[in-house]
Amino acid sequence: MRVVFAGSADFSVPVLRALARSSHEVVDVLTSPERRGSRGGAAPRPVREAAEELGLALEQPPRLDPEQWRRSPALAGAEVLAVAAYGLLVPDPILAALPQGGLGVHPSLLPRHRGASPVAAAILAGDSRTGVTVFRMERRMDAGPILAQEPVAMPPRATAEDLRERLAVLGGELLVQVLDRLGGEGVEEMAQLESGATYSHRLGRRDGELDWERPALEIERRLRALMPWPGVTVPLAGQRVKLLRGGAGEEPGEERALPPGAVLERGPDWLLLQTGEGAFRVELVQPPGGRAMSPVAFLRGRGRGPREGLELG
């Protein structure tokens, strides 16, 4: 089957590689243009680098134009558009012009976690399982009929980065299976149930600006979901630092209930802090403009010892 692939993020690359290894012909690769950096440079898109490595035709239009698509011999001869984290709108006339329309690869079990940040949303929600979905694209975002799904158990303490990579590989395999069946016996389509739909918003820096009044489990989930970007910052000894490693600890007993941000226990390179609900073990932090270090080393550098009962929030 003649396939046009569209993708822009790291998630897109394993999907493209799976297509390139398959029996299907990738006639063109679409990715969004590079953005200018602060020093005038332009960071390369991961899909562009992968397409060049694989020797595939590549285009980087700022938007998809149905008329330009119609005039392009390569695009006009395509049978299906495969989309994985592309980031640009695909106009309805393009989908209508393709014999097999458009297929989306989404890293969640749709209709749960539609939208921009499904992997992080699954971690933040404490889902016990997640997965990947291949669906037929339509005007509404991530709402088309489901062609295939592959569930996976949520790995313990999974980070969004690790989980996204795993789901991308799985998504590429699932997409190839769907294309194989479309070219053969066909695929049964299943409508999404709107009653089970949830949405994930695009993450920003404010999502990671936390304080110790929040529950320890929420802080841990945000740390795993927002790593490496936008990351999590917390107050420590009068300064906001980036939290790089840590996790929810045991529930503190009533006899040591202290204000959020107070030190409950300390080790040679870690601190256990009181939160709004439970305790959080801080293992690695990074001050603004500084290097990563243990919270104990950070406090010593500011002339403050990690004494139990000391409020650091």
**Structure confidence at residue 242 (pLDDT):** 97
Q: Looking at 138, 173, 200, which one is the last position of a domain?
A: 200
**Structure confidence at residue 36 (pLDDT):** 67
Pair (257, 276) in one structural domain: yes
Query: Which residues are CB-neighbours of 180 under 8 A, at least 6 positions away?
Result: 22, 23
CATH number of the domain within which 229 lies: 3.10.25.10
Pair (175, 248) in one structural domain: no
Please indicate, yes or no, if residue 139 is contained in any of the structural domains. Answer: yes
Pair (95, 35) in one structural domain: yes
Selection from 24, 29, 36 nearest residue 4 by Cα? 29
Please indicate, yes or no, if residue 218 is contained in any of the structural domains. Answer: yes
Within the chain, strands assigned E span 2-7, 25-30, 58-59, 80-84, 102-106, 114-115, 129-136, 146-153, 199-200, 232-236, 239-248, 263-266, 271-274, 279-286
Pair (98, 219) in one structural domain: no
Band of pLDDT at residue 185, cut at 50, 70 and 90: confident
Q: How many folded domains does the chain comprise?
A: 2
Pair (168, 295) in one structural domain: no
Query: What confidence tens digit (pLDDT) does each residue in 264-292 have?
Result: 999 999 999 999 999 999 999 999 999 99
Tell me if 142 sits within 8 A of 110, measured CB to CB: yes
Please indicate, yes or no, if residue 306 is contained in any of the structural domains. Answer: no
Query: What confidence tens digit (pLDDT) does each residue in 220-240 have?
Result: 999 999 999 999 999 999 899
**Structure confidence at residue 38 (pLDDT):** 44
Residue 275's domain comprises: 205-301
Which tokens is 133 given? 């979905």
